[in-house]
Every structure is written in C-alpha cells, then in structure tokens.
Amino acid sequence: MSLWEYANPTRFMRVTGAALPWLWALTALCLAVGLTWGFFFTPDDFRQGSTVKIIYLHVPSALMGINAWLMMLVTSLIWLIRRHHVSALAAKAAAPVGATFTLIALATGALWGQPMWGTWWEWDPRLTSFLVLFLFYLGYMALWAAIEDPDTAADLTSVLCLVGSVFAILSRYALVFWNQGLHQGASLSLDAEENVHDVFWYPLLVCIAGFVLLFVALVFLRTRTEIRARRIKALETRARMSAA
Amino acid sequence: MMPDLGKYALWVLSAYGVSIALLATITVLSILQSRRTRRALQAMEAGRKTGQGESARSATPGTVKEAANG
C-alpha cells in the first residue's frame, strides 16, 4: 500500500474516522498522566524552584509549534508538486493548532521568564524568531481566509509556508547560530549529557507524547472538517449550475 | 494534595491556567466546527437525494438546489 493512497479523500476519511477515537483516548491518557506526574509528583529545581513545573507545558508546546510548521511545509510541498487536495487541506487544518501551541510557548515562556530573568520579554534571537513564527501563522491563516478560490489560496499559502520555514528552523537553532541571549540551551537532545535530570525527563517525555497525539488528533479532525466543507462547496456549485 | 509552589505559585498556576484554557478552546472549537460541517453536509446530501428523486420524476430543474438549501 502506498502513502499516496491517503491523498484519496474517501480513504483518508475512512482511516482517520477509525483512528480518531483511539487517538483521543491516548491523548487524554498521556496528558493526564504526564501533567499530573509533572505537577504533583516532581520536586522543585534547586535553582528555579517550583517554576520548573512550567517545563511540562513550555517545552512540548514549543516543540509542536515548530514541528507543526514543518508538517505544513511537507504537506505544502506535496500540494505544490503533486497537487493532492488533502495535503493542502491538512496544512490549512494544522495552522490554527500550530498557532495555539506557539502562543502557549510564548505565554508560558513569559510567565517563566519573569521570575527567573526578571523580564517578561527580551529581544533574544530565539524568542524573537519564535514571535516571528507566530506572526507567520497568523499571516498564513489570514491568507487562506482572504482568497476565494481554494486552489489559488493553497498555492499562495504554500509559498508563504516555504518562506516561514526559515523562522521555524531559526527558532529551533537560533541559539546555535548566534550563541547569545537569555534563553538556555536545549532541554532535550539526543546527546544525553544535555538532557534535564531523569526526575523531570520522564514526565516531560509523557507530556511531549500527549502534545504530539493532541496535534495529530486535532489535525485529523480539522482536515476531515475541511474535506466536508469542500464537498459542501462542490455540491452548492453543482446545484447552482444545474439551476442556471 | 496541592504541592507547595512557594513564592512562584502565581507564575506556575498562571502558566497552567493559560495553557489548559488555550488547549481546551482549540479542541472545543474544532469539535463544534466538525459537528456543524458534518450536519450541514448530511442535510445537503439527504436533500440532494430527495431532489434527484423528485427531479427524476418531474424533470424540474433547480430542485437539487432547493432541497439542499432546505
């Protein structure tokens, strides 16, 4: 079976319809376990005190804010190259979800930064590129809403997505590129020496799993909505033409 | 059961409050939008079938649109 078979809306609806109840259940389980574990059963950090508990929201949401845009980049490229409508609709469906995660990362970052750095905001490379990424999300959604013809909207938003990918990558690697600013280095890395202590690491992994599953569930749900909305438009057009 | 958050309680609880509120909002809005669209499509397709049946019998153009809108 090829991956391209899911570009067929009927097949996509069938597969995601069957997967969604399981995804919701797994999402609720991971978020409930991860957040309860992190909030109630982990100690304070010796330097940051209880503010370390914000890590269970800030890191997963920042991770998903960036990765949602990268997912949109892949689906936008598929649209531009292979013209599969489901991929364009999936990118459109993912944007509000990615914007929400990015907003959560910005808000929790400010709430963490104020007591630790003494400021809500700093024009630090990582923070600034993340803010620009959020603005790109808003611009992307506005562009979809502003253009009547769905194929033209998909074309133009795909190009915008390519441009915005620069900031998605910058917000992840700004620290490496500029090596300055208030923001600390990566909390998570394949290099074990950079990771947080195990007592924070395990509940954080469960929270990240919960955020990933929530993203997938919401994108499936919203893509299904977009496919139905597209079908409604097609039926309305057909009815108008037969009436004319 | 509530952990002692000390002098940072306001910041930690605000972070959890804002995040949970935003996640709940996007989830609830997505579900409501999904239900609304599904109902609209079901109504339209049901109307279309009725319209097709009627138009096959009466051969009256425009029935599909009327049924879909109704």
Q: Decide if A137 is inside a domain.
A: yes
Say whether pLDDT at A215 is over 70: yes
Asked, for residue A206, whether it belongs to a domain, the answer is: yes
d(CA A50, CA A115): 11
- Residue A2 located in a structural domain: no
Decide: helix, strand or coil at residue B65.
helix
- Tell me what pLDDT residue A7 has: 77
**Cβ neighbours, 10 Å, residue A190:** 7
Q: Residues of chain A with pLDDT > 70: what percent? A: 89
Shortest Cα distance, chain A CAs vs residue B37, angstroms: 6
Is residue A223 less than 8 Å (CB to CB) from chain B?
no
Number of structural domains (chain A) is 1
ipTM: 0.90
Q: What is the pLDDT of residues B17-65, one digit of tens each?
A: 999 999 999 999 999 999 999 999 999 988 877 776 565 555 444 333 3
In a domain, A103, yes or no: yes
Partners of B5 on chain A (C-beta within 8 Å) are 50, 53
Q: Where are the domains of chain B?
A: 36-70
The answer to whether position A113 is within a domain reads: yes
Mean pLDDT of A16-21: 96
Chain A contact set for B62 (CB, 8 A): 242-243
Alpha carbon separation from A125 to A91, A110, A128, B37 (Å, rounded): 27, 15, 5, 41
pTM of the model: 0.88
Indicate yes or no: CB of B16 within 8 angstroms of CB of A107: no
In a domain, A132, yes or no: yes
Confidence check: pLDDT of A178 > 80: no
Domain range enclosing A217: 50-243
pLDDT digits (tens, 9 = 90+) for A125-151: 888 888 999 999 999 999 999 999 999
Q: Cβ separation of A51 and B12 shorter than 8 Å?
A: yes
